[in-house]
Amino acid sequence: MKSMPSQLAALLNRPSSKSNTRMLFKFLLLLALLFFAFSFVFHVLMLHEGREYSWLTGFYWTLTVMSTLGFGDITFVSDIGRLFSIVVLLSGIVFLLVLLPFTFIQFFYAPWLEAQNKARAPRSVPDTVSAHVIFTQFDAVTENLAAKCLQYGIHYVILVADLHQALDLHDRGYRVVLGELDDPDTYIRLRVRQAALVVVLNDDLTSTNIIYTVREISDRVATVTNADADDSLDILQLAGSTHVFQFTQLLGQALARRVLGISMTANVIGGFDELLIAEAPAMRTQLQGVSLADSRLREKTGVTVVGIWEQGRFLTPQARQRMGESTVLVLAGTADQLERYDRLIGFAGHQDLPGGPVLVLGGGRVGRSVAATLEARGIDFRVVEKRERIASQDQRFIQGSAADRDVLVAAGIDTTPSIIITTHDDNLNIYLTIYCRRLRPDVQIISRASLDRNINTLHRAGANLVMSYTSLCASTIMNLLKPGKLLMLSEGLNVFRMRVRHRLEGRILRDLRIREETGCSVVAVQRGERTEINPDPAIVLEREDELILIGAVESEKAFMERYATV
């Protein structure tokens, strides 16, 4: 750490500091001249009263009066002397007690403190760092991704242009670097050539500038960018972005796919080679009210139920667990096995669905994406939107407040099979969920959550399904970081690989009790070029076998602690 003299020398050599120092010197010179002038007048007035004091006594009197100490051992007896004392006293209050501290703080202390803070904020990453992730903005998505990077041992750094925000994040424990977003030197100090990924989630104009600046330094580093506007997709790709997503559209498509009336069949959400992971709602199908054991899904279709979403919580499946209207099954199997599941479930639950249009609350980017997805699948819909500019674009858009019952009735709430709430305000989404659940206790309610912490609240408010914008973005980006090794699904559900270690070699899969001990499920065993999906529990694990497992974040951590260190 630098010594105080060296810090002061560096501060005084800055151009802005030199100007500030000149201002401070001029003020001190004015104060000194005023001090000497008052001392001279003190001598003149004292001689007028017939008293004589030394010059040192004059300086002493002036200082005590101007600083308001006022010892009172030397006082004037004439009116003109006392009037002079008042002038000196008021001058001291203004110059010594007000202007001097302000001037010192403004032109010396504040610049010095700012220099100290800048020195405390990191300006580069260590030379040993590589394969790291660079974030160019801090928001809820970055916060989520930073936590996941720490979980998987990936080094990350957040680039921040504002000093105070950088210091705040640094004090909160985040890895931060202070620098300008459009300065090539910033990315050199971030070692962008050695980075694994640059995540650019700024506004479209800023993102374009950042991508172009990064490409000045490295044309190989992978970048991922969010495009708010449709027109920005091509521009960001032309600027050099490797992956360009419209996360609001992806979220709208995911919300629309879960609507009753599109299908009761399995919706594929990810896969490893031939292994596919899918979600399937139990609501209003032949599975509702039936236990997993009685459904005999594995026997009839070959798929394995590897998990259950229930009110936003991922649960390990239990044989006697009954499926309710909020149950979403997580299935693992091949394409053929999922097709058999679809034929078994089919549209058996559709005959008792209301025949009205799907109701979409909110006509923003997510709401319009939901509407486009429904239209592409031939599903009728109505969108409730307050803004006339948006509502006037389509006759299926109804202008008005979603909290107005008359508007909802006009939109078809009495006959709709599903309500999708898409606003970006979680507080409003919770409010509308409670309101719609009261109006229609039997309807399917699907809601967007901007922040993960509000998922459970939305479920308690009455939503059957909740999808998080933050989790969607984080999962998509993390899957780019570890392709083929990690597959992050919705709301913290992960599929991951692990090679068989010495402790597992020669063991029967059933005897390991992996699901009971950790909460993870083995969905496949890869042996050489062959992958056995939904393996027989009696299979004997061999050296170099690779297990493919699925589980929540806590379950994955428990599995790794139990088996990966052996």
pLDDT at 280: 81
Domain residue extents for the chain: 4-120, 133-245, 262-351, 353-471, 500-564
Q: Residue 107: what residue type?
A: F
Give me 443's structure tokens. 């309807």
Domain 500-564 falls under CATH 3.40.50.720:
no
CB–CB of 321/245 below 8 Å? Answer: no
pLDDT at 223: 96
pLDDT tier at 198 (50, 70, 90 boundaries)?
Answer: very high
Q: Residue 187: what residue type?
A: Y
Domain 133-245 falls under CATH 3.40.50.720:
yes
Candidate from 80-94, 218-232, 275-289 with smallest mean pLDDT: 275-289
- Ranges of beta strands (E only) in 161-252 are 176-178, 197-200, 223-226, 243-245
Domain 262-351 falls under CATH 3.30.70.1450:
yes
Domain 133-245 matches domain 262-351 at the CATH topology level: no
Average pLDDT, the chain: 84
At 75-95, the pLDDT tens digits run 888 889 889 988 988 888 888
Sign of CA dihedral 367, 368, 372, 375: positive
Give me 200's structure tokens. 């650019």
Q: Which burial class, exposed, middle or buried, applies to 342 when counting CB atoms under 10 A from its CB (0-12, 13-18, 19+)?
A: middle
At 387-423, the pLDDT tens digits run 999 988 889 999 999 999 999 999 999 999 899 999 9
pTM above 0.85, yes or no: no
At 159-185, the pLDDT tens digits run 999 988 988 898 899 999 999 999 999
Query: Average pLDDT, stretch 254-271?
Result: 71
At 446-479, the pLDDT tens digits run 999 988 889 889 988 998 888 889 888 888 888 7
Question: DSSP letter string over 453-504?
Answer: GGHHHHHHHT-SEEEEHHHHHHHHHHHHHSTTTEEE-GGGEEEEEEE--TTT
Give me 270's structure tokens. 């990810």
Residue with tokens 């590897």: 306
Superfamily of domain 353-471: NAD(P)-binding Rossmann-like Domain (3.40.50.720)
Q: What is the helix, strand, coil percentage profile of the chain, to 5?
A: 45, 20, 35
What is 4-120's CATH number, 1.10.287.70, 2.40.110.10, 1.10.3720.10, 3.30.70.1140?
1.10.287.70
